[in-house]
Amino acid sequence: MQGIEVENRAYAGGWWDWLTPFSILTGIAVPAGYALLGATWLNLKLSGEMQERMRGMARWFAAATLGFLAVFSALTPLQEAGYAARWFAWPTATYSFAVPALVALVAWRLWRGLSRGDDLAPFLCALALFVLAFVGIGISFYPMMVPPGLTIAEAAAPDESLRFALVGTLVLVPLILAYTGYAYWVFRGKMDPEEGYH
């Protein structure tokens, strides 16, 4: 019975409740962030004229991504009263103010890296922006998993299923990390058009 009440509380509304200006803006912002990741990755892997072009594109995508982050930071507390309480109530407010400070620091390092012609730093900074964005989401939603209706405990699978998944995770994640590390090692360094198949 309680599960039905939780389900009704979580899904009370129409089919198109998800289609809001906030969700549309999110749909535009995410590709801008991924374009920043792609441009900084290509800055890392390329050289010469193409690398310069990627640096220029990375500046535009960085400005767009940071602009979207600022807009979402302003709009998120307005979406739900609980979000505003978590952002501005003690002690969670310390986290809410630490995240923008870290974003500003990462953004400064990103611009500095692009201006100085760094290869790796802009890509790492782009990754850090995504991590900080997810931390901000976590601060806003916690302890909700499906905001604003289901907590993490209510959305979690039964303990038996989680134990089974944990065993699979302990086996598969090291294999995936090893394979990914090997792939990055094989394709390390700059791309050279004179090498490989044409």
Q: Is 10 in contact with 149 (CB distance < 8 Å)?
A: yes
Identify which has the larger pLDDT, 41 or 95. Answer: 41
pLDDT given for residue 198 in this prediction: 46
Identify which has the larger pLDDT, 191 or 170. Answer: 170
Instruction: Identify the bridge partners of residue 144 per DSSP, sorted by sequence position.
Output: 151
The DSSP call for residue 46 is: -
Instruction: Identify the bridge partners of residue 150 per DSSP, sorted by sequence position.
Output: 146
pLDDT given for residue 191 in this prediction: 79
Q: Which helix (H) or strand (E) holds 145?
A: strand 144-146
What is the separation of C-alpha 39 from the centre of its chain, rounded to a whole number of angstroms? Answer: 16
State the CB neighbour count (10 A cutoff) for residue 29.
Answer: 18
Region 71-98: mean pLDDT is 78
Name the band, by pLDDT with cuts 50, 70 and 90, for residue 193. low
Which residues lie below 8 Å from residue 59, measured CB to CB, with a gap of 6+? 111, 114
pLDDT given for residue 87 in this prediction: 75
Region 61-66: mean pLDDT is 96
Answer yes or no: pTM beyond 0.85: no
Structure-token pair, residue 11: 């899904």
Which residues lie below 8 Å from residue 54, measured CB to CB, with a gap of 6+? 39, 40, 42, 43, 46
- In percent, how much of the chain has pLDDT > 90? 46
